[in-house]
Amino acid sequence: MDKLPLALDPNFSGASEDFPAILRRKSLLQSAPEPTAAAGNRTFIPTESTTILAFKFAGGVLVAGDRRATAGNTVVYDRADKVLEIDRHSIMAIAGVPATAWEMARVLEHSFQYFRRTQLQEMSVDGKVRALSKLLRDNFGFVMQGVGVVVPIFATYDGNSKPEARLYFYDAMGAQFEVTDYAATGSGSPAVRGILYYENNWGDKKLRELNEDEAIAIALRALDTAAEADTSTGGVDRSGKIFPRRDHDVARRKDRAGLSTERGMIEEPYRWVEAIANRREYIETQLAAGSPIAAVGYRDGILFVTLGRARQKIFEIYDRIAMGAIGHPGDIERLRMAAIELASTEGFTRSAADVSLRRLAHYSLSSVMKSAFEQVYGPPYLARLLFAEIGSSPKEDLFLRIDYDGAIAADGLTAQPRQRFAVLSGTRQSAEWMETFLRKEHVTDAALPDAISLALDAWSVGRLAMGENANKELPERDAVRKHREEELAKAGIEAAVLERDRKSAIRYRTLADEEVRSALQK
């Protein structure tokens, strides 16, 4: 099996890069040649997409494009996709060479997701606009050779409490121009701009006042009119059921071979074993106070829950994969960033469906953590990781734990019946009690409020098994509930879900503290 895309960079430091820089570092994104004058005897005629438009209406921004792709005077395709969803806040429409434009859209889509997952926040509108501008500027060498021109339209909005629609068009060098009402590019754009100008100034309503049906009607009328004067623009072929498109869902080291003999401590095998034992004891002591994490399957997906006062412990890794972690914040951050980078480059190189938690854990993270643990002159990772990957059915869900020494404990890897839950804690006794409790109480088809209550009870069971005053046996239900209420009064709830039937390809969703507490009242 090919392991290359999941090989962890040995020089990975955890420092944040933008996603295109990572792709170039891994030789997955080609740099354009130096800008030179286009060859005069060029015989290759690239396929090109043509007319696109966008304008603001009462419900937001409508982005539309005809479906035709041409090569010179030849119609290559009449069902080309030119309006591409980049993320839930952004749409890009393309005019120019589809091969280049579609790759730019893929890079942008993965870049925005990578930023959100690594920085734990959405990229700003200005950041998104400049990201597309940089891709266009980096492509200018191909533009000068006459084979890669792209002139897109980009529509987005701020994801704040009062979202404001923003609309931009670009030139081939990457300059962005924000417009207040409408934009159009491509060979049929002169006719389209004339119609939009007329409708906005002398029509029955301003473009911003149109409802969705009225806005769609004007967009179709503009594209159909452009097709009358421009052979490269495809109009509305009602008999052939070919219509301009107005939406599109994109969102869908090797271990060291030998031991050094230069240092006396590991010259002899028993001293190396002693050093490993001391290291294990040290790490266990450092992790002992970590707040437990419970991951439980419920009717509609997988729930992660923990309690805490400051640091985040639950993270999104990729579309269908989430992670919980306890340990040193710096080590958790390095492993989280590495996991996101590995999953993102795998999804970009192949497809999102090829990103597998088992490959991510077994071929990369486990071996790296094992190597760091066994190299006694280097720092180990002070972290325990809990992953979950949601499948198309409950039988395909996977829970997986990686310890600080690289040891993997996975649910469902044997012929035994799967348990649709997993736990993470600072001590072995705490984790064992949580698992014992969940084996008795967990119900696979529970509703989300019941799953939240059960996960918080499991957290309390794990917490009661920790510290100097730890219980010596599994506590009674009343003691668990009392402890839970006491902790809820002084700590915040951190929770997230992987939703099986969510329409978006991204199944991860965080639950606010208020939402969790409200669910507990039901």
DSSP string, 101-131: HHHHHHHHHHHHHHHHHHHSSPPPHHHHHHH
């005053």: which residue's tokens?
469
Give the C-alpha distances (Å, rounded to integers) separating 453 from 159, 362, 442, 490, 509. Answer: 31, 33, 11, 17, 18
pLDDT over threshold 90, residue 257: no
Fill in the amino acid letter for 510: T
From 184, 181, 102, select the one nearest 135 (Cα to Cα).
Answer: 102
Fill in the amino acid letter for 462: G
CB atoms within 10 A of CB 374: 18
Three-state secondary structure call for residue 285: helix
- Please, are residues 192 and 56 in contact by the beta-carbon 8 Å criterion? no
CB atoms within 10 A of CB 211: 11
């002169």: which residue's tokens?
190
């000068």: which residue's tokens?
144
b/e burial code for range 146-176 (CB count within 10 A of at least 16 → b): bbbbbbbbbbbeeeeeeeeebbbbbebebeb
The sheet with strand 48-49 has its strands ordered as 48-49, 69-71, 74-77
pLDDT over threshold 50, residue 308: yes
C-alpha–C-alpha distance, residues 104 and 23, integer Å: 12
- Pair of tokens at residue 182: 């409408």
| pLDDT band per the 50, 70, 90 thresholds, residue 414 | very low
C-alpha–C-alpha distance, residues 397 and 411, integer Å: 9
Is 180 one of the catalytic residues?
Answer: no
The residue ranking higher by pLDDT, 22 or 185, is: 185
Selecting among 47, 50, 225, 345, the annotated active-site residue is: 50
pLDDT over threshold 80, residue 57: yes
From 324, 369, 364, 329, select the one nearest 345 (Cα to Cα).
Answer: 364
The sheet with strand 301-308 has its strands ordered as 421-424, 293-298, 301-308, 492-499, 508-511
The residue ranking higher by pLDDT, 231 or 438, is: 438
- Pair of tokens at residue 380: 């180990």
Q: At what angle do helices 125-138 and 98-119 cross, to 10 degrees?
A: 140
- Please, are residues 352 and 310 in contact by the beta-carbon 8 Å criterion? no
C-alpha–C-alpha distance, residues 430 and 463, integer Å: 7
| Residue-level pLDDT at 273 | 74
User: Which residues, 6+ apart, have CB-to-CB distance to 500 below 8 Å?
Assistant: 300, 301, 390, 391, 392, 393, 394, 507
pLDDT tens string 372-402: 998 877 889 999 999 999 998 998 999 999 9
Q: What domains can you pick out in the chain, each with its CATH number?
A: 48-229 (3.60.20.10), 264-520 (3.60.20.10)
User: Per mean pLDDT, which range of 1-10, 221-230, 413-422 is the poorest?
Assistant: 1-10
pLDDT tens string 157-209: 876 656 788 999 999 898 999 999 999 998 888 999 999 999 999 999 999 99
pLDDT tens string 107-148: 999 999 998 888 888 888 888 999 999 999 988 887 787 777
Question: In 361-416, which ranges are E strands?
Answer: 383-389, 398-402, 408-410
From 388, 478, 472, 487, select the one nearest 433 (Cα to Cα).
Answer: 472
Give the C-alpha distances (Å, rounded to integers) separating 18 from 107, 341, 349. Answer: 11, 10, 16
| pLDDT band per the 50, 70, 90 thresholds, residue 43 | low
pLDDT over threshold 70, residue 68: yes
Helices assigned H by DSSP within 140-268: 140-144, 189-202, 212-229
- Pair of tokens at residue 422: 């997993």
| Residue-level pLDDT at 149 | 87
From 118, 120, 94, select the one nearest 18 (Cα to Cα).
Answer: 118
Do you know the residue count of the chain? Answer: 522
